[in-house]
Structure 1
Amino acid sequence: MLVHIVDDNDTNLMLFEQLALRTGPDVRVVTYADPVAAYEACRRDVPDMIVVDYMMPVMDGHQYVEAVRKLPGLRDVPIVMVTAAAERSVRQKALELGVTDFLAKPVDPAEARLRFSNLLALRRGHLQLRDRNRWLADEVRKATITVVQREQELILRLSKAAEFRDPETGAHIVRMARYSELIARRLGQDEEYCALILKAAPMHDLGKLGIPDGILLKPGKLTDEEFLVMTRHPEIGHEILRGSESHLIQFGAEIALTHHEKWDGSGYPNRLRGEDIPLSGRIVAVADVFDALTSERPYKAAWPLEKARKLLEDGAGSHFDPACVAAFLVEWDAVMKIREEVADEAVVIY
């Protein structure tokens, strides 16, 4: 425990130093005859108790206490002011400035030692409580991180389950999620939003779990009736995910429901138009279509990159939000890097 003694009288400095040292083996005392020097020392190293005389040159006790209380970390440090017994107005002003306790001149050594001891004991308790609160906060933070990581792992595995029912790959959901993050970042969304869409985008096709195999895995063109069944997968995905208390899963439900809506209102399931479509759905629409077109599947060859790019350009303003298409295309080099890093045959840890 660090104690500062501030007094322009050498005798008082020695007396208070000895009394403070007798309060415990962990006590270290530094004395200052100059209050300005004592103030500068407080800026460098926060003491655990300060004993200060009221009557000092250059800076009196009131001025010293007022200045010290404004320093970081000094708000709760106990301060004992030494005053004459009759200086009632001085004491009142000192209390207003944040003095914790007083010693009246002439000082009773036994009383002073007990006051110092009690205040340092309170300071120890305060520091222990602060450290415990920090430890508890850190434990809560670590536990929260663990829960979030498990939630994200479960979401990814569930998303992969949907993809395995469809002739897609696990790499597809990783690529389209990273494309989605890329678009969101280029559109100026904050870090929280970008991180959220990266984690939630893989849930976009979760509703395919509810589509019959005969339709989902059909190699040829779907009939009108079959296509109508297929168009239910956004609502099925939304139904699976909606109502969760998790903000991430709520965001996934929004994406699942809206990623097949089109800018011109011709999409499904609710024929939303323009900015009535949530931004997350508009972003994922671009990312998902591009990756689906440029990926090889058992029933189709991968489109050439330029052909897929042309489709996005032609669809801007009809199928796609023009701003999302522009954001995606301006990041073309980054898109190519993602394609290289996350190949279909690669083992991906997401």
Structure 2
Amino acid sequence: MKIAIIDDSESSLSLMSELVLGLRDVEAVTFPSSLAALMWLGQNPVDLVIVDYLMPSLNGLGFLELFRRDPNQTAIPIIMVTSSDSKDVRYMALQLGATDFLTKPIDPVEFTARVSNTLDAYQAHKALADKSAWLASEVARATERLVEREREALLFLGRTAEHRDPETGRHLTRMSTYSWLIALSLGLPAEQANRIKVASPLHDVGKVAIPDHILLKPGKLTPEEFAIMKGHAQHGANILAGSQSPLLQLACEIALSHHEWFDGSGYPNGLKGDDIPLSGRIVAVADVFDALTTTRPYKKAWSFDDAYDHLRDGAGSHFDPTCLAAFGAVLSDIHDVYDAHRD
């Protein structure tokens, strides 16, 4: 351990240094000037500072005030040495961050005891802080592992609906990445955009409740069949409802709202404009674009440009114009995903 001793008296520095040498595994660094000590301490860590009160240029109180301004020095103990019995001086020193006091002339027994006790307390404090930091890092790692498992569970649950429709291929990867890019383009925080990316693959989980003869029908659905197909949004919300997980709550919101239209003509609740959750408005753009550019039993895949033109035609009616503008702002990134994850 290292102790910095600051005193303008050579005899006092010599005495205190000699007493420190008698302590086990402790060395002293001495300074006749508090200003010189401040400069050195700014670059060198110590375990204790002993500073005299009465010194020229900058006294012990001035040293305390400047030293404690450094956020890295707030926990280092400081013993002030003073020949003054003035309570005002001691009160001021305590307010400025002094840990303990020694009175001149120095009593060797008292000096050794106070220094040893202060060092022991500081070492215990550092050990506790190190343990707290270790525990915090372990909790963070464990939490990240839990979050990763939750993300995997959401992806696997999303695949249950996708695997009932073998033509959709890598739809979940593309659609969720499109949604993430739109969210970032809108200026949403990265954490929120990531949550949308993770939750959006569950948007069609309600299709597990749709009969195969409707879900896999190669031709156009009848009005009665389409009414049943539209039920997948509410089915998905019912499947995901009631969870304490923020991710599942977001997935529930997306499942229920991603077929709402900006003009209020969508389903299942006919929501309009900003009444539609932002997550649903984002996923609506991503989902329709990917559906258009993907081959399905009832249609051929549209070209990238034709699909984008269709989205722009639907601005203000089907789609939120702001979300569509955000989609257009990252169109080159969208095209990269489109190229990289084709079926």
**TM-score grouping bracket, smaller chain normalisation:** over 0.9
Looking at structure 2, the residues matched to 19 and 237 of structure 1 have their Cα atoms a distance apart, in angstroms, of: 76
Name the counterpart of 2:46.
Answer: 47
* CA contact 1:183–1:327 (8 Å) conserved in 2: yes
Partner of 2:102: 103
Cα distance between partner residues in 2 of 1:192 and 1:63: 45
Q: Secondary structure at the match of 1:73?
A: helix
Give the superposition deviation at 1:8.
Answer: 0.8
Q: Which residue of 1 aligns with 2:9?
A: 9
**Once structures 1 and 2 are overlaid, which stretch shifts more, 99-108 or 142-151?**
99-108
Residues 167 and 297 of structure 1 are in contact (CA less than 8 Å); yes or no, is this contact kept in structure 2? no
- For 1:284-303, list aligned pairs within 5 A: 284-303=283-302
Letter of the 1:9 counterpart: S
Deviation readout 1:257-313 (Å, 9 max, x if unpaired): 000000111110000111111111111111101111111234432112222122112
Which residue number in structure 2 is paired with residue 118 of structure 1?
117
Query: Which residue of 1 is the match for residue 91 of structure 2?
Result: 92
Matches within 5 A, 1:175-324: 175-324=174-323
Secondary structure at the residue paired with 2:79?
A: strand
Which residue identity does 1:197 align to in structure 2?
I
Shift of 1:90: 2.1
- 3-state DSSP class of the match of 1:218? coil
CA distance in 2, matches of 1:300, 1:75: 69
Matches within 5 A, 1:55-74: 55-74=54-73
1-structure distance, mates of 2:254, 2:334: 21
CA distance in 2, matches of 1:333, 1:86: 75
Q: Could you tell me whether the CA contact under 8 Å between 1:185 and 1:194 is conserved in 2?
A: yes
Deviation at 1:224, TM superposition (A): 2.1
3-state secondary structure, aligned to 1:290:
helix
Give deviations 1:15-42, integer Å, cap 9, x for gaps. Answer: 21222233321x2321111100111122
Equivalent AA in structure 1 for residue 108 of structure 2 = P
In the superposition, the TM-score normalised over structure 2's length comes to 0.96
Q: Are the structure 2 counterparts of residues 324 and 96 from structure 1 closer, same or farther at C-alpha, using a change threshold of 3 Å?
A: closer
- AA aligned to 2:170 is A
Matching residue's letter, 1:227: F
Distance 1:21 1:213, change over 3 A: farther
Instruction: Specify whether residues 168 and 205 from structure 1 end up closer, same or farther in structure 2 by C-alpha distance, changes over 3 A only.
Output: farther
Q: CA deviation at 1:168?
A: 4.1
- The answer (yes or no) to whether the contact 2:2–2:28 under 8 Å persists in 1 is yes
Aligned with 1:165: secondary structure?
coil
* Cα distance in structure 2, aligned partners of 1:92 and 1:285: 66
Q: Deviations over 1:199-221 (max 9, x none)?
A: 11111111111212222112222
5+ long unaligned stretches in structure 1: 345-350
Rounded to whole Å, the distance in 2 between the matches of 1:30 and 1:225 is: 89
- Segments of 4+ in structure 1 off by > 6 A? none
1:2 CA displacement: 2.0
For 1:255 and 1:341, locate their aligned partners in 2 and report how far apart those are by CA, in whole Å.
Answer: 25
Matched to 1:234, the amino acid is A
For 2:29, the aligned partner's letter is V
2:163 is aligned to: 164
Distance 1:95 1:307 in 2: 74
Asked whether the equivalents of residues 23 and 116 of structure 1 are also in contact (C-alpha less than 8 Å), the reply is no
What residue identity is the alignment partner of 1:199? V
Q: Is the 8 A contact 1:160 1:170 kept in 2?
A: no
Aligned-pair identity (%): 50
Aligned partners of 2:5 and 2:336: how far apart in 1?
Answer: 64
Deviations 1:308-348 (A, max 9, x none): 1221121111111122222212322211111111122xxxx
Q: What SS does the corresponding residue of 2:265 show, helix, strand or coil?
A: coil
Paired residue type of 1:8: D
Cα distance in 1, alignment partners of residues 234 and 23 from structure 2: 72
- Structure 2 SS opposite 1:82: strand
8 A Cα contact 1:168 1:297, kept in partner: yes
Query: Partner amino acid for 1:55?
Result: L
Question: Is the alpha carbon distance of 1:168 and 1:32 closer, same or farther for their aligned partners in structure 2, counting shifts above 3 Å?
Answer: farther
**What is the aligned partner in structure 1 of residue 18 from structure 2?**
18
1:223 Cα offset (Å)? 2.1
SS of alignment partner, residue 270 of structure 2: coil
Q: CA RMSD in A?
A: 1.5
User: 2:82–2:103: 8 Å Cα contact kept in structure 1?
Assistant: yes
Q: How many pairs align?
A: 343
Whichever residue aligns with residue 124 of structure 2, its letter is: G
2: distance between equivalents of 1:304 and 1:82?
82
- Three-state SS of the structure 1 residue aligned to 2:316 is coil
Unmatched segments (≥5 aa) in structure 2: none
Alignment partners' CA distance in 1, 2:111 and 2:177: 67
* 2:258 partner letter: H
Question: Residue 154 of structure 2 aligns to which amino acid in structure 1?
Answer: I
**d(CA) in 2 for partners of 1:186 and 1:166?**
31
The equivalent residue for 1:334 is: 333
